[in-house]
Structure 1
Amino acid sequence: MAARAAKVPLALLTRLPDGAQLLVPGDAVPEALAAEARAAIDADAARNVTIGNETWFIAPENPPLRLIIVGAVHIAQALVPMALPLGFAVNVVDPRRAFATEERMGDRVTISGDWPDEAMAALKPDARTAVVTLTHDPKLDDPALEVALRSPAFYVGSLGSRKTHAKRVARLTEAGLTEAEIARIAAPVGLDIGAVTAPEIAVSILAQIVSARRGGPKKRAEG
């Protein structure tokens, strides 16, 4: 139960048909079964497995996916309602009070008016968190990136052209981030689908986030 309280990924294993249950991590479990449990956690999908003469139903219990958006701009307005049905809990960070409002972002997001470095430190991005900065303002984007790039966040993206990103790289290098940390930034942000409008850019960003979470593009099944 400590794992549940700490909101760490775990799997509940139920033996069929007698209903005996185990937790991974937590209980002593044969390695073959533990490996199947870890695979279910990584895939975020339940499965039945047979190990030896026993059949188990494995139900992963992962912490919520989170999307932290820095900048309550037009792209954010389009991105929020797209991310929610995919299971993301959305946090919008913007100290500019005129932008960061429920009227603009909706009532299903958590809005922070703190400065991005403070907000990000409080939010503590984890391995199930995606972070995207959209303000085009280094005073807001860079502090958020410094926290995100030193966190386990599975995705970090930042809006801006290649020229803008080159300047960003120089600033972050000056701030002490390593080349490997900076290389984690998806920039220009989003998949290259020729997006122009705010909703199109939001689609490209969310597609890239899903791709990062699922391990990159995969060939569609035929038929």
Structure 2
Amino acid sequence: MEDPVEAALTWHGRRRPAALATVIETWGSAPRPVGSLLAISEEAELVGSVSGGCVEGAVVAEALDAFADGRHRILEYGVSDDEAFAVGLACGGTIRILLQPMDDALAGSLAAVQDARAKTRAVGLSTDLETGETEVTEDVAARTREEKSGLEGERFVTLFAPPLRLAVVGGVHIAQALVPMARIAGYAVTVIDPREAFASEARFPDTTLTHDWPDEAMAAFAPDARSAVVLLTHDPKLDDPALRIALNSPAFYVGALGSTRTHAKRVARLTEAGLEAALLDRLDAPVGLDIGARTPAEIAISILGAMTKALRA
């Protein structure tokens, strides 16, 4: 198991004592961001991380005490410069951790979280820091935009957002480099190409592949505010139909491969097709950051960089 929520629920379902630790505040160069999770079993099995290794041992010791008394607790640790350096940071910081032993009430809340995640809905697990009572909230639109867990008065809201999504139109060489890079960066990737020889399992293992015509596939993909769209075919018959849908969507990034001259022709075609100038201004073309990229892998890096810049802006 790699997911702390899944691990905590699995152990509790087997009637094994378990606890969930959540980073609720940080100061300085804390090793893990707010909202990071760690599941702990009675055998000190660990899934997830709250500090990259700096304080996990101390959290496990506290969890063993929590198993005995069944009470949640707030822990605070200072991470020294030496400890931080051991896990790859230049300097240390301070972290505050909420530790919750698993019980039926918390398990019920976490099961509701898992159900929402399975339906790709963003939810928050809201915990009263004084009483330990938890509830699931769907009032997380602002947090989802910022991808941020955080304190709300005397409650802490752990955000569980659907994964970022990326639709790549064109199963070309650049896509073969971009898809695994995007997956590492946290994207759920779909490759769209009606040419089955290009969008094949051999070329894109463990990737969602769609062989419908790009406009149909893009409509089914339904880009939202946590989606990016990249068009790589260099073929107007394939790119343009998908592009019209993507530019009219809330997608945070839309980019298309092609030279400046190719892009000028694209703009002329889409303008003639009725797309407004404001929509065309959203298009990043030639695609990617200008880093002098030449190889497919370098171009993929430039594209992922541009996606990240658009997302964080």
Q: TM-score scaled to structure 1, two decimals?
A: 0.83
1:17 counterpart letter in structure 2 = E
2:157 and 2:227 map into 1 onto residues whose CA distance is 24
Instruction: Give the Å deviation of 1:58.
Output: 1.4
Greater gyration radius: 2
The one-letter code sitting in structure 1 at the alignment partner of 2:161 is: N
Counterpart of 1:40 in structure 2 is 143
- Residue 18 of structure 1 and its aligned partner are, at CA, apart by 1.3
Shift of 1:183: 0.8
- 184, 199, 209: which one pairs with 1:100? 199
Which one-letter code corresponds to 2:310 in the other structure?
A
Q: Which of 58, 66, 74 is the aligned partner of 2:165? A: 66
Q: Structure 1: which amino acid aligns with 2:226?
A: R
CA change 1:139–1:187 in 2 (3 A) is same
What is the CA–CA distance in structure 2 between the aligned matches of 1:187 and 1:146, rounded to whole Å? Answer: 14
Higher relative contact order (CA 8 A, sep 6+): 1
Aligned to 1:31: none
Cα distance in 2 for residues equivalent to 1:210 and 1:145: 20
Are the equivalent residues in 2 in contact too, given 1:40–1:58 (CA < 8 A)? no
Contact 1:40 1:59 in 2 (8 A): no
Percent identity, aligned pairs only, is 57
The amino acid that maps onto 2:238 is L
After superposition, give the CA deviation of every residue in 1:122-157 in whole Å (9 maximum; x if it has no partner): 111111110000000000000010110111111100
Letter in 2 for 1:58: V
Instruction: Report how far residue 7 of structure 1 moved.
Output: 3.5
The equivalent of 1:30 in structure 2 is none
Give 3-state SS (helix, strand or coil) of 1:92's partner: strand
5+ long unaligned stretches in structure 1: 27-36, 216-223
Equivalent residues, number: 200
Structural mapping, 1:53-92, within 5 Å: 54=154, 56-92=155-191
Query: How far is the alpha carbon of 1:62 from its aligned partner?
Result: 1.3
Match of 1:148 among 217, 234, 246: 246
Q: Secondary structure at the match of 2:203?
A: helix
Q: For the residues of structure 1 that align with 2:302 and 2:257, how far apart are their CA atoms?
A: 12
| Other structure's SS at 1:202 match | helix
In 1, distance between residues paired with 2:197 and 2:257?
21
Alignment of 1:174 onto 2:272: yes
Task: Tell me the SS of whatever aligns to 1:72.
Answer: coil
Gaps of 5+ in 2: 1-111
Give the aligned CA root-mean-square deviation in angstroms: 2.0
Give the CA deviation at 1:22. Answer: 4.1
Question: Paired residue for 2:223, among 116, 125, 135?
Answer: 125
- What TM-score comes out, normalization by structure 2 length? 0.60
